[in-house]
Structure 1
Amino acid sequence: ASSIWHPFQAYLSDNLERIQSRAARFIASAYTHDISVTQLKETLELPLLSSRRLNSRLCFLHKFYYNYPYSHTTSFAPPDRVSSRLNHSQSIKRIAGKTLAFNTSFFPHAIATWNSLPDDIVVITDPIRFRQEISLHNH
């Protein structure tokens, strides 16, 4: 569900990050406040939840894009104008809605992020390799 759900309100993301900080203290059994939570997360190799959601969102879109070829004609149309300087070879036409809730929902947000990726990443068809490259790119 985290790949689809993305809070556009900052306070919701902040609340989730606070929960992860408490979880890091629980995992490391470090309940005193003289230990930095940031250092704990780095030691435990816990990435920010926002970056995990971003990676998961892109991987979900990648699977949809490469595993359902019929979607290229129905859901994933190429942009009306394509520039090799601005777009990569797998660019998708952005979906626009009339409400903020729709424009920050899964597909519009994921497509905007997908279109900003470099070409050498979006042409990867293997989902495991794509996840590795996305993690390196967003790290």
Structure 2
Amino acid sequence: MAKMVNLDFLCMKTAQSMAACEGKASDKENVATKGLGVLLENGPYGLMLFLETNAKEKIAKHYMKELINICNDDHIADYIEVRAPSNPKDIKDFKKVTEWFKELAKNLDGYLFVKGLWQQTLTYARYHAKALDNKDKTDETVTEEAIE
């Protein structure tokens, strides 16, 4: 019997890693929100281009690395049939990532699967960043009240 994989757990774990990068929580939320819009309108390749050219470069590059890494999970890689770049140097190589997308797009089921997986992951990353931002604001309020 085939082992069932909890894809939601993979999305959750990846989203937490995405939100753990350096930068302001509001910037993380903004990149995730805009990236989610691009993904829904233009697909995974459009999202990759958006993240490659985003002004919040450190956050965007970290998000792309995490999204590509989720595709390297053995269960995901077996389903999409195309191994994503796994070497950190290759993930940063725009040409190698583009080549991976070309191969991925040849299998529509796999391409749409990645789109859905990334959609869930970006949604979680967005709300995780928002929760971090709210926590920061609450901590600031508590600190200011303690000073007064």
Do both proteins adopt the same fold according to a TM-score greater than 0.5, normalized to the shorter chain? no
TM-score (norm 2): 0.30
Q: Which has the larger radius of gyration?
A: 1
TM-score calculated relative to the size of structure 1: 0.31
* Larger RCO (alpha carbons 8 Å, 6+ apart): 2
Task: Looking at secondary structure, tell me which structure has more helix per residue.
Answer: 2
